[in-house]
Amino acid sequence: MGFEVWAPLPASVRLLVDGETHEMTRDEGGWWRADTEPQPGQRYGYLLDDRSDPVPDPRSLRQPEGVHALSQVQDRAFEWTDDRWTGRQLAGSVIYELHVGTFTPAGTLDSAIERLPHLVELGVDLVELLPVNSFNGTWNWGYDGVLWYAVDESYGGPDAYRRFVDACHAAGLGVIQDVVYNHLGPSGNYLPLFAPYLHEDSANTWGSSLDLGRPEVRAHILENALMWLDDFHVDGLRLDAVHALVDDSPTHLLQELAERVDGLSAHLRRPLTLIAESDMNDPRLITPREGGGYGLHAQWSDDYHHAVHVALTGETAGYYADFASLEALAKTATRGFFHDGTWSSFRGREHGRPVPSETPTWRLVAYAQDHDQIGNRATGDRLSQTLDDDLLAVAAVLALTGPFTPMLFMGEEWGASTPWQFFTAHPEPELGAATAEGRIAEFERMGWDPSVVPDPQDPETFRRSKLDWDEPYGGESRHSRLLDLHRDLIALRRREPELTDPRFDRLSAEWSDDPRWIRIRRGALEIVVNLADVPLPIDSPREVLFASRPFGDDGVPPRSAAVIRP
């Protein structure tokens, strides 16, 4: 196959390969083709109309010198060793979310491979990577990507990505890749020069929406998703902010994606998982297609995070306001969503729909911390920077023994002291300044002091956010004790069937706001959390399976949690 590109907007398109220009011919659909056969390693780009500077291929597989430079023809051949890999289903699994650039000092995929034994010993099943596709600048969260088919060179490029996935599979770990299809980054996006990719009449928080009514735009997204799962052997995708996808088509993009992915899963004979991030609290996303839903496999649950966060910290500003009572935690732990048609004071309207009781609980991904809920705080502070060890242990219990699929954010397992802040490296000064100003405006609504917000463009903001791997392995310390606690809880989750039972009708809860405690029943087990300053009297349990602090004669100690069999 020769070079081809969809470009209905320019009147002429020429191909530049290794310094030589080649004419291209156009068909009726706006596709331009050249007979020149691509050779691995060639540098190429497209000259549109009378532009003297070539622009990269919208489907470039590699950008050795950044998103403004020439693309490189990539040899997709790779000596995979995972032919016996049968995958990891989401049900019963534990997810570990990480950002490649701050997970290790080197910030590369190859250096991340060296830390896989830590994840195996911890007991996680699935490693979820924040977006890795090419973005402008030297470091970024990943949500400013513009070339979705290319792995950013700062992480090692596409071959390093394959090595990472292959190594994960050899270690028994599945890989979930975070992908962004609701917008493109603000710098290096040349797609509008080629074709009407963007819907100018519809925008979201991050810019113009993708025009999902165009078959070629839908194909650009669908084929990218299948690339990760097929070519890169990835086990699942986390779909960023799907509420920002504007699609009035008879079949929503998400449903079409789920259909395509389920078909690929059947062909590969291993589970492939689609997890949505959504602000809608709409169970249609995770309802099977035969039940009238889109057929995605799971979605994140911010409601569970908010209920846990408020219970542990007492913060009630902004979107935390409705979660002040432990009733919020009891409701989310037993019914999935807190806002399921109830009034949301932050949004100023009724919000959400109930989760059907037949839904398996593992379809909701729950967490006490994640990249958004840490990095989008004013100073990027983790719970470990405000809570003592007792309450960090309670957070671990609520995250890992709850009814949903648990997810940990990198370093959470040892109470990392390093923050995780919002960082960018936009080469354009005006773009960097606008980004910083926009974040300050967001924080004012949460009641946070804008004067303490670190400059996203300051290289120190990025460096501060890197994990310190001396902490968990530096001898007897709070970090090593918390790490042991997380290992024990994940092992307990493996041993006790009630902790992975997916039935909502096996859940119930009781609580008190004065004194503050909650008891969540999961079949024959109870998760007991005492947030009061006095012991919580309980009937003598038949068996204590886990206790964050030793029981006394008067019951569950203050500021502690336990898993018991009554």
Long-range Cβ contacts of 459-464 (<8 Å, 24+ apart):
459/425, 461/421, 461/422, 461/423, 462/101, 462/102, 462/139, 462/421, 462/423, 462/425, 464/418, 464/419, 464/421
Phi-psi region of 137 (alpha: psi -120 to 50; beta: other; left: phi over 0): left
Active-site option among 240, 282, 413, 496:
240
Query: Of the residues 247, 277, 282, 412, which is catalytic?
Result: 277
CA distances from 40 to 35, 36, 44, 72, 227 (A): 16, 13, 11, 8, 18
Q: Strand 25-26: give its sheet, edge to edge.
A: 4-6, 31-33, 25-26
The residues near 524 (Cβ < 8 Å, ≥ 6 apart) are 498, 565, 566
Contact 465, 419 (CB under 8 A): yes
CA distance 143 to 184: 8
- Report whether the peptide linkage leading into residue 456 is cis, meaning its omega lies within 30 degrees of zero: no
From 528, 565, 566, select the one nearest 548 (Cα to Cα).
528
Judge whether 315 counts as a catalytic residue: no
Helical segments of 78-133, H only: 100-103, 109-113, 116-122
Helices assigned H by DSSP within 106-239: 109-113, 116-122, 157-170, 191-194, 215-230
Please list the residues that pair with 22 across neighbouring strands. 15
> Does the annotation count 240 as an active-site position?
yes
Hey, which residues are catalytic here?
240, 277
